[in-house]
Structure 1
Amino acid sequence: MYTEFFHLKEMPFSIAPDPRFFFMSDRHKEALTHLTYGLQGAGGFIMLTGEVGTGKTTVSRALIQELTYTTVVGYIHNPAVSELELLATLCDEFKLDYDQHNLSLKVLFDLLHYFLLDNCQQDKACVVIIDEAQLLSTTALEQLRLLTNLDVEHKKLLHIVLIGQPELQQKLKLPELRQLAQRITARYHLLPLTELELASYVAYRLSIASGNPGLFSRKILKLIHRHTAGLPRLVNLVCDKALYYAFKTRDDKITSQHVKAAVTAVAITTPVKANNNAQSLAALAVTVCLGLVITGFQFGLFNFVEDDSATTPVDKVTPIIATTNAEILLARASNDVMSDKALFSDIKSARQRSAATQFLYKEWGYDIALNDATCRNAQHANLRCLQRQGNYAQLVQYNLPAVVRLLDNLGEGYYATLLSITPLGVELQLSSSHLLVSQAWFERYWSGDFTLFWTAPSRFENSLKQHDKGELIRWLDHNVSAALGENALSGTRFDWPLLKKVMRFQKQSGLTADGIVGPQTMITVVHYADSTVPKLNIATHLAEDK
């Protein structure tokens, strides 16, 4: 092969796990730091998520190496099993004997309980690491939660590290898993490598194999990043193939032709948009953000002359009288009254949209670092980002949380997160302040710009229309029919009957009845199909909190 030609002592880009080749980028180190920190707590769940090939397994292996001899570790590679099989797998990992002819949840649960108690008495910690955790069933996850109930003197006997793809975060938003979600004491979402990190990654692996880092020029590394989006697994595949093609043509350096041939060979059909804006990912610790409710008084929101002697603010928020319903609406906020000074500070810190976008990610279940809170990074959370200019009615029609751009009296913009629209008013998150303002006030100061996240089946591109074919058409038919209370047509072709059905759905939903399923129609269909999607509707918020 190419190793002798390039004077390498071994293949530097093998995808086979090898601790010597583990490269810890800044974001991998941050992930490891926060997982380690989570294990130092009283117990419960820790979660690491990321797209396929971002290096989650690398972090988990590094975590195991960090653990001391006083920690007993169980590692589950395939969690797509029943709850009974899951407990049996845990017993196998901990080398516990059990009668395979007398299996029950109680027998295995008790066996694990005794084992955990015994380890606790020996001052040993027990950690279970579950890879591909998005494959766990809800019943299996609930069984894991029950295991974390076991404690001694307020100390949990078991830590569970869940490692999975972004779908895991969505699964944990299910109502039946809310108790488990509340027990996640640390979480981290791992993003792909930046261009700079990719260059360091390639150089590191070449150095381990005694190779020349100059094999890949800066221009070539940029091209590789463009095609792989910084996913380490894809980087390995492309670099390996590129070296092979360079060997075949007897070139001592990698060229763009070699990279393009490698990309074709590993079946990357189109370049993935690189995450150029992503910086190092910070802690994704579980934090309850308690806002401040503005109730029963007026204050100068846009008067930037901080004069305590002023008796009449230049502009005022419409007063909201505190009622029982208002308290329900903002039950997660504190009842403290905020000062003008605090509000001025929040407005000044909201000049950039990143803080508001960070809150938008939280509405979708993702705790993400401020520098990573961008529209571009939504793709790494299986979300789509939509930026629009419109009026209030159009904003309400989307029925999704959004980042909105507001204007002060000087015409300068700042950003807030729109959380809900209710008969009581418009609920906003402005930096650290939780506000409830009237619709009239919102329409007066809103610029019309908004950004929202939405989700759709992975095969959906820009639109679905008559004569399209495929399983996505069956999905569309099923969900539109359910929303209309009609029987599904059960076909995979967007024919005339389905076109008429889509038009009825659009008309019922207040959309333009053109029969074309574009982003707005798809967003509305998903509202019916997926109850976990965050909505502006207050009734939905209250139902989920009960």
Structure 2
Amino acid sequence: MYTKFFALREKPFSSSPDPTYFFPGATHQQALDLLLDGVTRETGIVLLTGDQGAGKTTVGRRLLTIVPAGTETVSILDTRLTPLELLAAICDQLRVNYDAARDGIPQLLTALDTHFVNLQAANRSCVVLIDDAERLASETLLQLRELYDLDGRRPRVLHLVLIGESAMRRTLATQALQPLTKVIDIRAQLDSLSAEEIGPYVLHRLGVAGAHQQYFSEEALLALHELSHGLPVRINQIGDRALLAAFAEEQRLLTAELVRWAARQTSAPATPPPEKPRPVPQAATRSLTPWLLVLAGIAVVALVWNFAKPVQRSRQHAVTATKPAPPPPPVPAVATSPQTPPTSPPHPLAWPKERDPNLSRQDAFKALFSRWQLEWTAEAQEEPCDFALRHELVCGLQQGNWIGLITLNRPVIVELRVEGQTYWAALLKIEHEQATVALAGSTRQVTSAEVEQGWTGRFFLVKEPD
């Protein structure tokens, strides 16, 4: 909206952790240097901690763009995983084959070890970066120690990087996690930006977005640092709203007054939405229309279900009442045509025969992106996760279980295997044991049990950054 007014190519204060906007300030550059050192030489696990909003994810994303050429990278976004699910997610991103239905932790470790042997033979390495690591359960953290011990080669092939909030240091200090703590060789703490860094930070982001001048006055920068406490996430929130306000006022030099107004706007509590059932994914649109459509869909399903039950009972009674007696001896003179055996109804999540299942992934992403009112097409030859990143969303392939998926409480794209076919669908909502699924361009109301039974455990998580 305001980009043209300020001669910008894009919004400079996006909340997305875009590595191209990495600011090489003192604390951030030092943290990045430590991480890079940790993944390029013989060290143990690398740990980066910092307060929420300090820019940890951006530093991690930047790291993955500057690792040596040929390095395989894994980025784990959803950390509410069991030990088995974490290993499976790593295997998926490294394209290591395993049997999801039968293989356990020993088999996955063996498969990963074989992969690391092949990487060593090719003189390559692997970096596994786990964001929001403070959410990992203790048993999953200890599984990382076992994964670390798996690679005892020299030089090391596997490098583990953990990123978490400052409180994670206290968690790792507990006696139960000492086996993992002992192999953490590099620890970096990400601090907030100083008052002297706020001006260069803002100018850096404006420059990356295409600006050739500073739009914030000295007083505005001082107010921005005071109100944000130097946390990049708050700087970005306030800066974006302040530019919007300046555009509305047709001001090209932002004042402290505008910054303070923007800070009040971004810190005010959101107006509670109309009362509605608890969903799995939270719709990004502010409109009530999607909720009305969902409620209408549920009403239709309930009506059809209540109608179907008496019909089914009447059919059962009819079959019972007309059960034939033992047949009499055959009469040669009378010829009877054979009865056609009854056909079972199609599975509610069956893929339509007229559509190619290879198109399922693009159908699912289209449906999911529409929740943010975004239009993505496969014809643009842009990977959906790249498209998500460009629109300030986080996207990644994960492995999980049904309880974890419900707990996640977000829209996801699930891989289904139904009636011998494997394909993708967008799981939009679950409530009262009913699920809303977008499949092959249409929305279906099914039971959550039917989704759970057909789900392979793999899913794409698309969300707004924390």
Please report the TM-score for the alignment, with normalisation by the length of structure 2: 0.55
* 1:47 partner SS: strand
1:249 counterpart residue number: 249
The 2-side partners of 1:149 and 1:214 are apart by: 50
Whether the aligned pair in 2 keeps the contact of 1:71 and 1:126 (CA below 8 Å) is yes
Whether the aligned pair in 1 keeps the contact of 2:131 and 2:163 (CA below 8 Å) is yes
Whether the aligned pair in 2 keeps the contact of 1:150 and 1:157 (CA below 8 Å) is no
2:402 counterpart residue number: none
The 2-side partners of 1:211 and 1:152 are apart by: 49
The 2-side partners of 1:181 and 1:20 are apart by: 32
Whether the aligned pair in 2 keeps the contact of 1:148 and 1:157 (CA below 8 Å) is no
1:456-490 deviations in whole A, cap 9, x for unaligned?
xxxxxxxxxxxxxxxxxxxxxxxxxxxxxxxxxxx
The 1-side partners of 2:268 and 2:232 are apart by: 14
1:283-324 deviations in whole A, cap 9, x for unaligned?
xxxxxxxxxxxxxxxxxxxxxxxxxxxxxxxxxxxxxxxxxx
1:218 counterpart residue number: 218
1:148 counterpart residue number: 148
Whether the aligned pair in 2 keeps the contact of 1:28 and 1:190 (CA below 8 Å) is yes
The verdict on how the C-alpha distance between 1:151 and 1:209 changes in structure 2, with shifts beyond 3 A counting, is closer
Give the drift of 1:93. 1.3
Whether the aligned pair in 1 keeps the contact of 2:129 and 2:161 (CA below 8 Å) is yes
* 1:214 partner SS: coil
Does residue 46 of structure 2 align to residue 46 of structure 1?
yes
Provide structure 1 residue ranges, at least 5 long, that are not aligned to the other structure: 270-546
Give the drift of 1:5. 2.2
1:58-95 deviations in whole A, cap 9, x for unaligned?
21122112212232211111111111111111111111
Whether the aligned pair in 2 keeps the contact of 1:44 and 1:156 (CA below 8 Å) is no
Alignment of 1:486-505 (within 5 A): none
Give the drift of 1:160. 0.6
Does residue 181 of structure 2 align to residue 181 of structure 1?
yes
1:94-125 deviations in whole A, cap 9, x for unaligned?
11121121131111111111111221222211
Give the drift of 1:135. 0.7
Give the drift of 1:22. 2.4
1:121 counterpart residue number: 121
Alignment of 1:386-535 (within 5 A): none
1:103 counterpart residue number: 103
Report the residue type matching 1:32 in the other structure: L
Report the residue type matching 2:181 in the other structure: A
Give the drift of 1:210. 3.1
The 2-side partners of 1:39 and 1:257 are apart by: 45
* 1:48 partner SS: strand
Give the drift of 1:212. 5.0
The 2-side partners of 1:252 and 1:152 are apart by: 58
2:354 counterpart residue number: none
Q: CA RMSD in A?
A: 1.8
Report the residue type matching 2:249 in the other structure: T
Whether the aligned pair in 2 keeps the contact of 1:51 and 1:166 (CA below 8 Å) is yes
Give the drift of 1:241. 0.3
Report the residue type matching 1:54 in the other structure: A
The verdict on how the C-alpha distance between 1:252 and 1:126 changes in structure 2, with shifts beyond 3 A counting, is closer
The 1-side partners of 2:20 and 2:162 are apart by: 25
Report the residue type matching 1:49 in the other structure: T
Provide structure 2 residue ranges, at least 5 long, that are not aligned to the other structure: 270-466
* 2:200 partner SS: helix
- Select the structure with the greater relative contact order (CA < 8 A; seq sep ≥ 6): 2
1:36 counterpart residue number: 36
Task: Report how many aligned residue pairs link the two structures.
Answer: 269
The 2-side partners of 1:88 and 1:68 are apart by: 25
Whether the aligned pair in 2 keeps the contact of 1:149 and 1:156 (CA below 8 Å) is no
The verdict on how the C-alpha distance between 1:20 and 1:66 changes in structure 2, with shifts beyond 3 A counting, is closer
The 2-side partners of 1:122 and 1:152 are apart by: 17
The 1-side partners of 2:109 and 2:49 are apart by: 27
Report the residue type matching 2:261 in the other structure: A
Whether the aligned pair in 1 keeps the contact of 2:70 and 2:124 (CA below 8 Å) is yes
2:239 counterpart residue number: 239
Whether the aligned pair in 2 keeps the contact of 1:227 and 1:268 (CA below 8 Å) is no
Give the drift of 1:152. 4.3
The 1-side partners of 2:222 and 2:250 are apart by: 23
Post-superposition, which runs of at least 4 consecutive aligned residues in structure 1 deviate over 6 A? none
Give the drift of 1:4. 2.2
The verdict on how the C-alpha distance between 1:226 and 1:153 changes in structure 2, with shifts beyond 3 A counting, is closer
1:373 counterpart residue number: none
Does residue 230 of structure 2 align to residue 230 of structure 1?
yes
Alignment of 1:63-462 (within 5 A): 63-152=63-152, 155-211=155-211, 213-267=213-267
Whether the aligned pair in 1 keeps the contact of 2:219 and 2:255 (CA below 8 Å) is no
The 2-side partners of 1:39 and 1:230 are apart by: 28
Give the drift of 1:154. 5.3
Please report the TM-score for the alignment, with normalisation by the length of structure 1: 0.47
Identity of aligned residues (%): 35
